[in-house]
């Protein structure tokens, strides 16, 4: 026993020395930067993109390093049987995460929208790595839960990263379709003529060409005037006409849009291109839907797309305009306007009004179908390059970026190729990982700013408190107990859409202890106006507790001086007050 104690003592001392040494080395080698994990347990380079395997390594490492803050689970399988991973981030030592107000975050619904995954995962990583240092994060994870699905389309992500693609496609799910109905499907997707992993452009010299190479920058093709002779014609993206129909690369991964698959105002393919068989016909979206249905505590949501610098809210189509009433729009506006301050170069926009119509979009299902306040951020914006608005997709600006900021890494130089159908051509152009995707040096900054926006949104989910409890004797051992239930955040316990369709149960406000003779909601305390609930008076059903507002309740009770008031709200969490 004596030797055992000595051995245990040595282990403790050794552990302390290792910890102190580790801390000392961290202090010697690094100087702390404000707002960044100084000595993370899980080291991640946020200036690059990760494969599915790399993502899983990070998530497993986070769960191992922070068992009291992280849970990792698969919520379903993709079309090609890959796991769809969900992180639950909360302080598990301070209550059940399923009983706390929750924020849902996902990314990568489209294959080429990689950075939504990194931004989602960065949010989880930042919350757990900064938890020990920041009281704000400690209180946040004590009160809230974050459900984070970094990639909800892992098949398409894998395909975009590992196969030749353009910056813009494929955006679809991985179900194989015969796009031109010729009976053939090119399983390999695009034809990568020069085998560099990128599908760039084909050009050919032609006496009727309408382009010339810019003498100042031969990478760039510029159109000639109507009365000028050109030298080159554009042939489109590199590839072959496999079936002799005059079209290049039309077969491959079929055009099917996972963001037209959700069960709210869904329309079939002949109305809106991209829809598949029926709502939730994609297994990935169905897995997300089922997870959300099982977690009624989700009060806010964020979906990440990849290009445009936009904070988007619904409705997706004008036909859905009456879904969003002014009370909810006021809340949407307040959160998004704060987001515009956090995200330089981003604009707060409405999908149908400022972009185009979307039927069956994820954004609209979350709000229309579940009553959850939801944004969809389009991420990369050209403002981030030179801090001026040069216009989206501006070729001149992209050439400047490649010349001065990436030093030629974004562009494949033109090179000759003997094409079996077009003859002597040249292949070149911007790589698939440039344009819509952040270059590495911009990833972490924009990830942090978007994280801050979603944390602000999550912070504004309901926070309920029992305050101002008053007792008044009525004689004969009977008294009234009046309590105010305050919501100290912007988001109510039920959105207007939730109330309109009775999506979620009412909030329960209970009095435990004495015999309850009567119960009521006080609508005007000054004039003693109340609405009585005669059924189960000890457990009041309240329709809603408004954001930055309150409800006042009253019980008529007999006996038992000690009592407990408990508030139980699906989206507002559980809180109590005891005498």
**Of 87, 146, 131, the residue nearest 456 (C-alpha):** 146
Contact yes or no for 374/367 (Cβ under 8 A):
yes
User: What is the pLDDT at residue 12?
Assistant: 46
Element (H, E) at 91: none
The label of the residue with tokens 């009456």 reads 322
- What DSSP character marks residue 137? H
Where does residue 242 rank: exposed (0-12), middle (13-18), buried (19+ CB within 10 A)? middle
Is residue 255 reached through a cis peptide bond, with omega within 30 degrees of 0 on the bond before it? no
pLDDT band at 273 (very low <50, low <70, confident <90, very high): confident
Q: What is the pLDDT of residues 405-453, one digit of tens each?
A: 999 999 999 999 999 999 999 999 999 999 999 999 999 999 999 999 9
What share of residues in the chain are helix, strand, coil (percent, to 5)?
Answer: 30, 25, 45
| DSSP string for residues in 249-310 | S-SSS----GGG-SSSS---TTTSTT--SSTT-SHHHHHHHHHHHT-TTEEEEEEE--BSSE
Question: How far does CA 561 lie from the centroid of its chain?
Answer: 48
Contact yes or no for 540/510 (Cβ under 8 A):
yes
If you classify domain 464-578 with CATH, what class do you get? Answer: mainly beta
**Backbone torsions φ then ψ of 186, nearest 5 degrees:** -85, 100
Element (H, E) at 129: helix 115-129
User: Residue 251's CB: how many other CB atoms inside 10 A?
Assistant: 22
Residue scoring higher pLDDT (24 or 535): 535
| DSSP string for residues in 482-503 | EEEEEE-SSS-SS-HHHHHHT-
Q: Which two tokens stand for residue 258?
A: 């996972």
- Rounded Cα–Cα distance for residues 554 and 472 (Å): 11
Contact yes or no for 89/146 (Cβ under 8 A):
yes
pLDDT band at 395 (very low <50, low <70, confident <90, very high): confident
- Rounded Cα–Cα distance for residues 12 and 215 (Å): 71
The label of the residue with tokens 């009592």 reads 563
User: What is the pLDDT at residue 290?
Assistant: 98
Specify whether the backbone of 91 is left (phi greater than 0), alpha (psi in -120 to 50) or beta: beta
User: What is the pLDDT at residue 30?
Assistant: 86
Q: What is the CA radius of gyration of the chain?
A: 29
Contact yes or no for 462/569 (Cβ under 8 A):
yes
- Rounded Cα–Cα distance for residues 271 and 244 (Å): 29
**Of 436, 452, 526, the residue nearest 134 (C-alpha):** 452
User: 378 in helix, strand or coil?
Assistant: strand
**Which string of b and e fits 452-471 if b means at least 16 CB within 10 Å?**
bbbbbbbbbbbbbebeeeee
Question: How far does CA 243 lie from the centroid of its chain?
Answer: 40
First to last CA, the chain: 49
Q: Where are the domains of the chain?
A: 1-31, 52-154+257-382+439-459, 178-248+394-430, 464-578
- Rounded Cα–Cα distance for residues 533 and 557 (Å): 14
User: What is the pLDDT at residue 249?
Assistant: 72
pLDDT band at 170 (very low <50, low <70, confident <90, very high): confident
> Among 3.40.630.10, 3.30.590.20, 3.40.50.1220, 3.40.190.10, what is the CATH number of 52-154+257-382+439-459?
3.40.630.10
Q: What is the pLDDT of residues 461-479, one digit of tens each?
A: 999 999 999 999 998 889 9
Q: Which residues, other chains included, contact 394 with Cβ-Cβ below 8 Å and sequence gap of 6+?
A: 382
> How are beta strands 423-430 and 411-419 bridged, if at all?
antiparallel
Average pLDDT along the chain: 91
User: Residue 353's CB: how many other CB atoms inside 10 A?
Assistant: 10
Mean pLDDT, range 150-157, rounded to an integer: 95
**Backbone torsions φ then ψ of 514, nearest 5 degrees:** -80, 170
Q: Which residues, other chains included, contact 80 with Cβ-Cβ below 8 Å and sequence gap of 6+?
A: 155, 174
- Strands (DSSP E) contained in 165-271 are 201-205, 211-213, 221-223, 232-237
User: What is the pLDDT at residue 526?
Assistant: 86
**pTM of structure:** 0.92
**Of 157, 159, 127, 160, the residue nearest 144 (C-alpha):** 127
User: 548 in helix, strand or coil?
Assistant: coil
Element (H, E) at 564: strand 564-569
Q: Which two tokens stand for residue 231?
A: 């030298």
**Of 178, 319, 200, 167, the residue nearest 252 (C-alpha):** 178
pLDDT band at 503 (very low <50, low <70, confident <90, very high): very high
The torsion defined by the Cα of 344, 349, 355 and 357, in degrees rounded to 10, comes to: 140
Question: How far does CA 45 lie from the centroid of its chain?
Answer: 20
Cα distances (Å, whole numbers) of residue 135 to 102, 131, 459: 19, 8, 14
Specify whether the backbone of 138 is left (phi greater than 0), alpha (psi in -120 to 50) or beta: alpha
Residue scoring higher pLDDT (522 or 22): 522
Q: Is the pLDDT of residue 332 over 90?
A: yes
Q: Is the pLDDT of residue 560 over 80?
A: no
Q: Which two tokens stand for residue 137?
A: 């994060």
Q: What is the pLDDT of residues 52-102, one digit of tens each?
A: 999 999 999 999 999 999 999 999 999 999 999 999 999 999 999 999 999
User: What is the pLDDT at residue 184?
Assistant: 52
């Amino acid at each position: 026993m004596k030797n055992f104690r000595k051995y245990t003592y040595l282990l403790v001392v050794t552990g302390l020395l290792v910890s102190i040494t580790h801390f000392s080395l961290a202090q010697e080698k690094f100087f702390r930067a404000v707002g960044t994990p100084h000595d993370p347990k899980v080291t991640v380079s946020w200036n690059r993109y990760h494969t599915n395997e790399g993502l899983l390594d990070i998530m497993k490492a986070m769960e191992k390093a922070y068992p009291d803050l992280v849970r990792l689970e698969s919520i379903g399988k993709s079309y090609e049987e890959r796991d769809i991973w969900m992180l639950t981030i909360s302080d598990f030592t301070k209550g059940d995460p399923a009983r706390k107000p929750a924020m849902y975050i996902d990314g990568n619904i489209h294959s080429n929208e990689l950075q939504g995954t990194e931004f989602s995962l960065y949010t989880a990583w930042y919350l757990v790595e900064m938890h020990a240092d920041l009281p704000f994060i400690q209180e946040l994870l004590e009160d809230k839960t974050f459900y984070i699905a970094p990639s909800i389309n892992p098949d398409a992500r894998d395909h975009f990263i590992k196969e030749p693609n353009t910056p813009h496609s494929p955006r679809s799910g991985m179900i194989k379709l015969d796009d031109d109905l010729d009976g053939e499907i090119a399983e390999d997707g695009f034809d990568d003529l020069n085998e560099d992993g990128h599908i760039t452009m084909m050009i050919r010299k032609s006496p009727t060409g309408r382009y010339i190479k810019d003498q100042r920058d031969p990478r760039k093709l510029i159109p000639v005037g109507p009365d000028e002779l050109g030298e080159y014609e554009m042939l489109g993206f590199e590839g072959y006409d496999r079936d002799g129909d005059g079209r290049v690369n039309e077969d491959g991964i079929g055009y099917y849009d996972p963001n037209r698959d959700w069960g709210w105002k869904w329309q079939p393919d002949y109305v809106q291109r991209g829809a598949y068989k029926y709502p939730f016909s994609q297994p990935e979206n169905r897995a997300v839907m089922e997870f959300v249905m099982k977690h009624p505590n989700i009060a806010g949501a964020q979906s990440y797309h990849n290009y445009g610098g936009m904070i988007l809210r619904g409705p997706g189509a004008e036909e859905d305009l009456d879904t969003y009433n002014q009370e909810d729009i006021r809340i949407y506006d307040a959160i998004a306007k704060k987001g515009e301050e956090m995200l330089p170069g981003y604009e707060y926009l409405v999908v149908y009004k400022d972009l185009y119509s979307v039927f069956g979009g994820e954004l609209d299902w979350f709000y229309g179908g579940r009553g959850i306040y939801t944004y969809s951020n389009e991420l990369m914006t050209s403002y981030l390059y030179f801090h001026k608005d040069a216009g989206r997709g501006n070729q001149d600006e992209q050439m400047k970026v490649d010349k001065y900021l990436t030093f030629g890494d974004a562009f494949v130089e033109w090179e000759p190729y003997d094409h079996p159908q077009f003859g002597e051509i040249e292949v070149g152009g911007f790589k698939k990982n440039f344009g819509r995707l952040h270059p590495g040096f911009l990833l972490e900054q924009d990830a942090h700013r978007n994280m801050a926006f979603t944390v602000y949104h999550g912070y504004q989910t309901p926070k309920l408190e029992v305050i101002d409890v008053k007792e008044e004797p009525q004689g004969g051992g009977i008294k009234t107990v009046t309590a105010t239930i305050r919501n100290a955040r912007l988001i109510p316990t039920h959105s207007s859409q939730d109330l309109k369709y009775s999506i979620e149960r009412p909030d329960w406000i209970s009095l435990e202890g004495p015999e309850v003779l009567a119960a009521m909601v006080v609508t005007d305390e000054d004039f003693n106006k109340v609405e009585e609930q005669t059924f189960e008076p000890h457990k009041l059903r309240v329709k809603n507790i408004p954001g930055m507002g309150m409800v006042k309740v009253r019980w008529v009770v007999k006996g038992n001086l000690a009592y407990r008031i408990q508030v139980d709200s699906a989206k507002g969490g559980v809180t109590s007050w005891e005498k």
